[in-house]
Structure 1
Amino acid sequence: MDGVKVAGCFRDRTILVTASTGFLGKLLVEKILRVEPGVKKLYLLVRAPDDAAAHQRVLQQVVGKELFVTLQQIHGDEFSSFIQEKISPVAGDIIHEDLGLHRSKVKQLSEEIDIIVNGAAITNFYERYDVALACNALGTKNVCQFAKQCAHLRMLLHVSTAYVLTGEQEGLLPEKLIRMGETPKPDCHLDIEAELELVHEVKATLTAHSVTEDSSQQLEKKAMMELGLKRAKYFGWPNVYVFTKAMGEMFLGSMTEDLPVVIVRPSIVTSTFEEPFPGWIEGTRTFDVLIVGYDRQTVPCFIADRNGTIDAIPGDMVVNSTMVAMAAHYGDKTQVIYHVTSANQNPLPCYILEESTYAYCFINPRVGDETRTVQHKRLLLFNRYPYFHAYMVLGYKIPLQMLYLVNLLLGGLFSELHNKLNRDYNFFMLLAKLYAPFAFFKACFDDTNLRKLWRTTGAGQGGDGYTFNFDPNCINWRLYLFNTHIPAVLKISRRKKAGRA
């Protein structure tokens, strides 16, 4: 299936895209418009009070971004009219039934839509449990219910994450659907309704015992964040994001027997490899936290196996595989899952990430206060938790206890220093809690379906010249990290730092 055939699948199609303001959503919208300007209509569901506000948000947060420069160059003075013709922003939210749309709008869309791409998600690892449940779990349920109303729907494509299968398992994780109630711990059964009831009970208890409305909101936020992480760990998932995304897949499996469904599960998504240009990214994603911390010298250590493997995949490869999958299965009454991953074919060792980050920061040091360059120290990597714990006790816990006592004796003279050290300690411990499961990940994602999909393209290994390249074998991780990804991450980080100075 050559690139022309893949692109042609989108000609005269009407597509509903959720999360078009997100990283992958923007990439997908740009790619469809660039390779197939004959697409009939892209309805972009965005959170906004009305369609006019949705239109403004799309102009500012989607088509107004640097990502669309290539498309602007292609269409020149006709760019605005092209966008107006092809894109129709719709105010709505997947957390509501019928996606928060008026019945007349539901009727209109249900008669027009050929494809639904659901990528809306809360991706914060430490999000409030109630918020993550509403979007990642119940939001997916609402999308399924909406899809069943679409008379001409030929495909529901759902963007998930490969880590929905993870726990402490080792070996090959299959490209299979998660059954309702299934968890990484074989002796645990997940009851989603019970989890929703638990959230309701905790919030009611907090409200009943709070003194003021402000204190109630603060307590509720903290409690919901802690509850999400606690419940995720209890059932065997590393964080609330993948935990609730797994729930979303459970709804997909139980509600879409009669719908053509494709689930795309990317691993850790990084900046673009090639298209529309290398190094486009937004925000700080997963291990980018360590890159930024390294650059600012705010993260002196981390817990990770230097010889362990990080499964990462550039954002444009995720979009390319998504579009090829849509073309391959358009109209099929099948349910198929693709692990869009790299480690099974071209793994990224942890030490390459650390070495590349150090090398880049050494050669391109950040300019600190008074225009002096920052001297970068190597990141300490502890391959066992007891070593990391000992470092934190000696470097932070004991000094904190000593500072606390001295502070009492001297009337709070060292309060500022104590508070800073305490914030640093809590931050490093939270980092370890959230990211260590990925740094010590022992399993590998089966990508059999993805390889089969690649073979249908007829492109050779490496995908040189292919419009929809998603072959991870073409990535030289050292070159990509040093020349593309790390500069892209630090460009954003340093710009934000300079803006706050």
Structure 2
Amino acid sequence: METLTLKPFSVMPSIKCGWRSLSTLSKVSMRVVACSGALKPSISTERVSSSSVVVRAAESVVLAPPNGKSDEIAVKSLVPYVDMDEDGGIGIVKFLRGKVFFITGATGFLGKVLIEKILRTAPDVGKIYVLIKAKDEEAAAERLKNDIINTQLFKCLRQIHGKYYMSFMMSKLIPVVGNVCESDVGLHVDFSHLIANDVDVIVNSAANTTFDERYDVAIDINTKGPSNLMEFAKKCSKLKLFLQISTAYVNGQRQGRIMEKPFCKELDVESEMKLAFEDNGMGQNMKELGLQRAKRYGWQDTYVFTKAMGEMVIDEMRGEVPVAIIRPSVIESTFKDPFPGWMEGNRMMDPIVLYYGKGQLTGFLVDPNGVIDVVPADMVVNATLAAMARHGRAPRPSMNIYHVASSVANPLVFHRLADLLHQHYDSSPCLDVDGTPIRVPSMKLFDSVDDFSNHLWQDAARRCASTPDGKLSKKLEAICKKTVEQLKHLADIYQPYTFFNGSR
């Protein structure tokens, strides 16, 4: 990275250089400075800090004295900066500047991408309080470092700030012990008062995304969590926006065009929460209960049902709190920012892709001409930031909903996805335990449950025939049977998505 040098200089800047403003961040001053090199030339002021100055201009820069010298200032280019208000945009960077955030679910996949984008785009953001489930402050700080600061996702920020990276991150990210499932989101009373008086934007990204999770577990975080957080939001004296990360599939099994509107409350959420937390000894049946309740009211699984109830609770409780809800479809790896292809954990599509690549799944239950609605994580974050800028300074509180999806603008048809997967594994096969490439056939797509089930058993029979005596040991036979049942269960869980005909 190129390092420039600022030295005392007496020429005033030209207006057309595009420099917007200087913000001094310390009391130590020098007479004038000038900037030249990769950045636009000619910037000066009568009194400029020699220790730490943020220049908001055609490029954002951070200035700091190298090696303690008072007559020079090292300059590092951060990110392209454009005043969006002046260039016909909605002023995202301008909105982020100086704002204080309170983010839940920040150690999760999307939460991390959001934090990285904020810090890289607006290094002069205020603070970001990060709610972390931990036993104490020390454990929360450790999770912040391990799950966020030291992860690969932040390598661009690390390159930008160099040896000052850790100090920059720790000055912006404040770990806070808490839990959205608890009253006052589990905050210590001192932190509760501090954040309530300080925060501008609350982002709820905390969620349990398991489709067939226990009903009590899913309701606790996906429904009760937003309720607890909204209760806290109503105590925040300067709050400009409550932003909820939801899912496009809260729309349930509706078909056709689906509008960006809140739900008409057609069920008693309080009764559902009471049912989930009753001490009725149901134990493992909690999974079945969640699926039963979801399907009774028109949702396909426990995850989207409890997320939908979370939206209902927010709408019912919000009062004068401005709300924006982001409903993304299937979130997958980053498209561009901070770099292409970043992924963490197994997302919705990944188990199918991995099973296929390992030769364990040669077909799947889908509508071959159906569309899988996938959207990259960084595009979801971009939409989230745009919603913040648009509604975080609205004159009147309102509730606004945005679907972030691809099925209309850039549809990915299942048979095309199957072709792409085969091309990928044909050129870059997985390896078995012996290091031998695993060659996979073209994936077969079935629109009938019976046909798919028959295919799974026929595939298992072929595996049996491939053994020396054409028979499987009882242990191996049991493993094959279990695998078939797992794949059938996977197909059953995914069926509402692989045959979905809604457009957003």
Give the TM-score normalised by the residue count of structure 1: 0.78
Counterpart position of 1:416: 475
Counterpart position of 1:184: none
Counterpart position of 1:69: 155
Q: Which moved more, 1:129-138 or 1:363-372?
A: 363-372
* 2:280 partner SS: helix
Inter-partner Cα distance in structure 1 for 2:165 and 2:123: 11
Q: How does 1:361-380 map to 2 (within 5 A)?
A: 361-380=425-444
Counterpart position of 1:476: none
Inter-partner Cα distance in structure 2 for 1:193 and 1:150: 25
Task: Decide whether the 8 Å contact of 2:252 with 2:305 is kept in 1.
Answer: no
| CA offset digits 1:344-386 (Å, max 9, x no partner) | 2111111121111111001001121222111112222102233
Q: How does 1:329-478 map to 2 (within 5 A)?
A: 329-332=391-394, 333-392=397-456, 414-445=473-504
Q: Which amino acid aligns with 2:482?
A: R
Unaligned runs of 5+ in 2: 1-83, 465-470
Matched residue pairs, number?
Answer: 409
Q: Which amino acid aligns with 1:227?
A: L
Inter-partner Cα distance in structure 2 for 1:315 and 1:47: 23
Inter-partner Cα distance in structure 1 for 2:114 and 2:386: 12
Which protein is richer in helix relative to its size?
1
| CA offset digits 1:387-444 (Å, max 9, x no partner) | 22444566679x99xxxxxx9xxxxx94313321221122012111111111110111
Inter-partner Cα distance in structure 2 for 1:293 and 1:392: 13
- Find the partner of 1:199 among 276, 280, 292: 276
2:301 pairs with 1:239: yes
Inter-partner Cα distance in structure 1 for 2:478 and 2:286: 24
**In terms of Rg, which structure is larger?**
2
Q: How does 1:57-136 map to 2 (within 5 A)?
A: 57-136=143-222
Q: Which amino acid aligns with 1:156?
A: F
Inter-partner Cα distance in structure 1 for 2:199 and 2:244: 15
Counterpart position of 2:315: 253
- Identity among equivalent positions (%) equals 39
Q: Which amino acid aligns with 2:386?
A: V
Task: Decide whether the 8 Å contact of 1:260 with 1:331 is kept in 2.
Answer: no
Inter-partner Cα distance in structure 2 for 1:225 and 1:350: 29
Inter-partner Cα distance in structure 1 for 2:237 and 2:344: 36
2:379 pairs with 1:303: no
Q: How does 1:150-299 map to 2 (within 5 A)?
A: 150-167=236-253, 169-181=254-266, 190-201=267-278, 203-206=279-282, 220=283, 222-299=284-361
* 1:336 partner SS: strand
Note the C-alpha offset of 1:63.
1.2
Q: Which amino acid aligns with 1:436?
A: Q
Task: Decide whether the 8 Å contact of 1:310 with 1:347 is kept in 2.
Answer: yes
Inter-partner Cα distance in structure 2 for 1:330 and 1:134: 28
Note the C-alpha offset of 1:268.
0.5
Using CA pairs below 8 Å that are at least 6 residues apart, which structure has the higher relative contact order?
1
* 1:45 partner SS: strand
Counterpart position of 1:488: none
Task: Decide whether the 8 Å contact of 1:180 with 1:251 is kept in 2.
Answer: no
Which protein is richer in strand relative to its size?
2
Note the C-alpha offset of 1:231.
2.1
2:386 pairs with 1:324: yes
| CA offset digits 1:321-365 (Å, max 9, x no partner) | 110110111132221100011112111111121111111001001
Counterpart position of 1:138: 224
Note the C-alpha offset of 1:8.
1.6
Q: Which moved more, 1:353-362 or 1:293-302?
A: 293-302
Counterpart position of 2:4: none
Q: Which amino acid aligns with 1:111?
A: N
Distance 1:421 1:102, change over 3 A: same
Inter-partner Cα distance in structure 2 for 1:159 and 1:143: 13
Inter-partner Cα distance in structure 1 for 2:156 and 2:225: 33
2:144 pairs with 1:36: no
Counterpart position of 1:465: none
Task: Decide whether the 8 Å contact of 1:161 with 1:267 is kept in 2.
Answer: yes
Task: Decide whether the 8 Å contact of 1:25 with 1:119 is kept in 2.
Answer: yes
Note the C-alpha offset of 1:172.
0.1
| CA offset digits 1:65-123 (Å, max 9, x no partner) | 11101001111111111111111010101000100012222111100011101110001
Unaligned runs of 5+ in 1: 182-189, 207-219, 401-406, 408-412, 446-501
Task: Decide whether the 8 Å contact of 2:415 with 2:445 is kept in 1.
Answer: no
Task: Decide whether the 8 Å contact of 1:164 with 1:242 is kept in 2.
Answer: yes
Inter-partner Cα distance in structure 2 for 1:28 and 1:286: 19
Task: Decide whether the 8 Å contact of 2:90 with 2:390 is kept in 1.
Answer: no
Task: Decide whether the 8 Å contact of 2:90 with 2:386 is kept in 1.
Answer: no
Report the aligned-residue RMSD: 2.0
Q: Which amino acid aligns with 1:26?
A: K
Distance 1:124 1:391, change over 3 A: same
Task: Decide whether the 8 Å contact of 1:179 with 1:253 is kept in 2.
Answer: no
Q: Which amino acid aligns with 1:435?
A: Y
Counterpart position of 2:68: none
Note the C-alpha offset of 1:301.
2.1
Q: Which amino acid aligns with 1:64?
A: N
Q: Which amino acid aligns with 1:10?
A: L
Task: Decide whether the 8 Å contact of 1:180 with 1:253 is kept in 2.
Answer: no
Inter-partner Cα distance in structure 2 for 1:289 and 1:246: 25
* 1:117 partner SS: strand
* 1:297 partner SS: coil
Q: Which amino acid aligns with 1:334?
A: S
Note the C-alpha offset of 1:43.
0.3
2:85 pairs with 1:8: no
Inter-partner Cα distance in structure 2 for 1:225 and 1:83: 40
* 1:9 partner SS: helix
Task: Decide whether the 8 Å contact of 2:453 with 2:488 is kept in 1.
Answer: no
